[in-house]
Structure 1
């Protein structure tokens, strides 16, 4: 019997299907390979300032120069993320160093784990301020502080909580030497080293738009003294409130905090202050005190080719030093942020009273101060940055 072509196809079809099924079983279909994700960015900033306590600068009409160059990197591959920022300043301001760098794993849309140099969960985040100068909390190590450790974040909408353990501050030298002040955020330096720190922060969001954030923060850790080779202790607590929403032009920040440093100094060197450092220089800070801060900002949308918005703000901080004979400190910054495409231009009038960056006294402004001879000083500052 002669078999026609269509008949041959019908006879071979079952055999073909059987072989195809066997091949699929042996070589299952591979999922498309996940591609690595990488995003690079950065910023270049220049700065103009005019300080009332600098006679030579007043004669020159201020100074205008380089502020900072930075590179940012965000990456993700096989569920592991990276977030890093490297900054370069002039040598007088500490030179080059990491601002932040951590590995991240997301357990879900609500929960994540960060390991590395990440932001300490304390107080209002990301900033307890709206201006370029931050607030007084930054200058004693409690605003936008970054340390080396592990942090867990759970955010379920109305509730957010964070828990963290930090082995060290921004540690760059693994030796029993004074910690380097070449860093972004203020930490205890000099003859003491921060170590074994625990942080816990919780936020409750209120209102239909979740615009009201009420929270509290707790922090505790050790201070290893290089002279006595013994650990002292430190702790801090804060309550805070912030109003922020995309539906309102207003932003309000309120915070009250206290802290205590108890370093284990040698018997003949029992001081009422610790050294703290950042940007290449140290100064002294009272061992204990409270800081009260308040800030308000208002956003004005602008629809032009050059300018897209102006944020007007005022941030105030009061530092109550709990050491007998130490004079308290104040800081107030009135200013505006201009948004022009990729450029952010901060224009600030920053007033300081016993503030090392806003007055002639550097070493003891945040410790004893200058009792009997303290005055308010002002620094007019314009910081212009191109962010890419």
Structure 2
């Protein structure tokens, strides 16, 4: 079945590429990526002096006819594949754009809240580079950018955990089964771009409110999340900061711990604290050279649960990214405590030990 899923999307792109070009803006591209990692929390990784694996193959497509356009990206990993995004958009005028399909959720720092290949902890909680099925509007008025969206549900529903970023979903961890469905979500982000000489400052705030539906009992909870964020750039130096408060108030069916909630992403399912704060602070320096560009960075993020029995999850990423023609490379060191997939199995829950876990990572990408 996985092979069939791989062949069908590729055949569609090949068929499109073989047809006569009917629009000047037609673009088909993608990337191939491989990854090396050495993890001190994995005995097998230490025994083998690390692991080198195929990471992904991605196919991107975009086209535009007058004021109407389409964009999509499909990704193939080892063992599964998924749509990252795919939507149509209409440039109603110079200031207003309407989009529909598998769209980006307007929440948090504009673009990314990180520089590293691993992203920040916001990503695994569903607050960075997140997508869902719905409609959105973007309105630019001078220095002001207003973005609103209605997201009906996750790209892959409730039991298929292939969504690109963390999504509240159905699944089982240990002896606890969660039956939540993230649906009917309203999200909005207001930001302002201020320029003063070489200094560019983007300040903004975001809010998200939606329904958490329990299909087994026919009952609903809700989620209310908000954030304030800052992005500054001066002469190649960059600084990002964000404070985010989250609250996943699920229906308590008497079989769960309401202080925890289940999330699915990238073919995995895990638990996180249902209420708390996320703090982010990133510093970077971009350097242009005669052969390409490199960016030095240190990204910090922390999930602080709102329950005394739980512990903070902390991630610090130090690294450099290098761009040379079609080649892009991340070289990162991750230092983590109580972090999912970095020595831990959850976010913001009780930690099993007080140790710091370390991972050295190199991600190699070729874009075509």
TM-score, normalised to structure 2, is: 0.89
Is 1:204 the counterpart of 2:189? The answer is no
Q: Distance in 2 between matches of 1:154 and 1:320?
A: 33
Query: 2:13 aligns to what?
Result: none
Question: What does residue 350 of structure 1 align with?
Answer: 334
Q: 1:179 aligns with which of 142, 151, 159?
A: 159
- The corresponding residue for 2:72 is 84
Deviation at 1:265, TM superposition (A): 2.6
**Structure 1 residue 78: deviation in Å?**
4.4
Alpha carbons 2:23, 2:63 under 8 Å: kept: no
1:350-371 Cα deviation digits (max 9, x unpaired): 1111111211x31xx3142325
In structure 1, C-alpha distance between the alignment counterparts of 2:350 and 2:317, rounded to whole Å: 20
> SS at the partner of 2:41?
coil
Q: How far off is 1:204 after superposition?
A: 1.4
1:154 aligned to which of 116, 132, 139: 139
**CA distance in 1: counterparts of 2:308 and 2:94, whole angstroms:** 49
Q: Determine the structure 1 residue equivalent to 2:347.
A: 366
Q: 2:275 aligns with which of 276, 288, 299?
A: 288
User: Who is 1:140 aligned against?
Assistant: 125
1:346 deviation in Å? 0.1
In the TM superposition, what is the alpha-carbon distance from 1:381 to its structure 2 partner? Answer: 0.3
Cα distance in 1 between the residues matched to 2:257 and 2:304: 21
Kept in 1: contact 2:261–2:271 (CA 8 A): yes
Verify: 1:237 aligned to 2:226, yes or no: yes
Q: Which residue number corresponds to residue 310 of structure 2?
A: 326
Shift of 1:256: 0.3
Q: How many residues align structurally? A: 338
| CA distances 1:254-295 after superposition (whole Å, capped 9, x unpaired) | 000101011113134353111111111100011100000000
> Residues of 2 paired with 1:53 and 1:267: CA distance?
35
Q: What is the distance in 1 between the residues matched to 2:65 and 2:195?
A: 37
**1:35-60 deviations in Å (ceiling 9; x for gaps):** 46411110000000000011121111
- Aligned mates of 1:234, 1:59 — CA distance in 2: 44
1:114 aligns with 2:99: yes
Please state how far the C-alpha of 1:301 moved relative to its aligned partner.
1.3
Deviations 1:338-385 (A, max 9, x none): 1111111000001111111211x31xx3142325x2311011000000
1:267 has 2:254 as partner: yes
Q: Deviations over 1:9-39 (max 9, x none)?
A: xxxxxxxxxxxxxxxxxxxxxxxxx846411
Partners of 1:217 and 1:370 lie apart in 2 by 30
Aligned partner of 1:383 in structure 2 is 363
Structure having the higher Rg: 1
More strand by share: 2
Q: Is the 8 A contact 1:287 1:323 kept in 2?
A: no
**Cα 1:322–1:60, aligned 2, differ >3 Å: closer, same or farther?**
same
- 1:60-118 CA-to-partner distances (Å, cap 9, x unmatched) read 11011100000000011243100100000111xxx111000110000122210010111
8 A Cα contact 1:273 1:367, kept in partner: no
Q: Are the structure 2 counterparts of residues 104 and 376 from structure 1 closer, same or farther at C-alpha, using a change threshold of 3 Å?
A: same
- CA RMSD between the two structures: 1.5
SS in 1 for 2:341: helix
In structure 1, the residue matched to 2:173 is none
Question: Cα distance, 1:225 vs. partner?
Answer: 0.8
Q: CA, structure 1 residues 276+299, in 2 after alignment: closer, same or farther (shift >3 Å)?
A: same
What secondary structure does 2:164 align onto?
coil
Q: Is the 8 A contact 2:309 2:350 kept in 1?
A: no
Following superposition, the deviation at residue 125 of structure 1 comes to 2.1
- The alignment's TM-score, normalised by the length of structure 1, stands at 0.84
Q: 1:313 aligns with which of 290, 297, 301?
A: 297
Aligned-partner Cα distance in 2 for 1:132–1:282: 20
1:177-217 deviation per Cα after TM superposition (whole angstroms, max 9, x unaligned): x4211221110012111000001111112233571011000
* Alpha-carbon contact 1:228-1:265 (below 8 Å) kept: no
Matched residues in 2 for 1:251 and 1:217: separation? 21
The 5 A counterparts of 1:190-201 are 190=170, 191-201=179-189
Moved more, 63-72 or 315-324: 315-324
* Secondary structure at the counterpart of residue 355 of structure 2: coil
Distance 2:287 2:24 in 1: 39
CA distance 1:273–1:207, shift in 2 (3 Å): same
Partner of 2:5: none
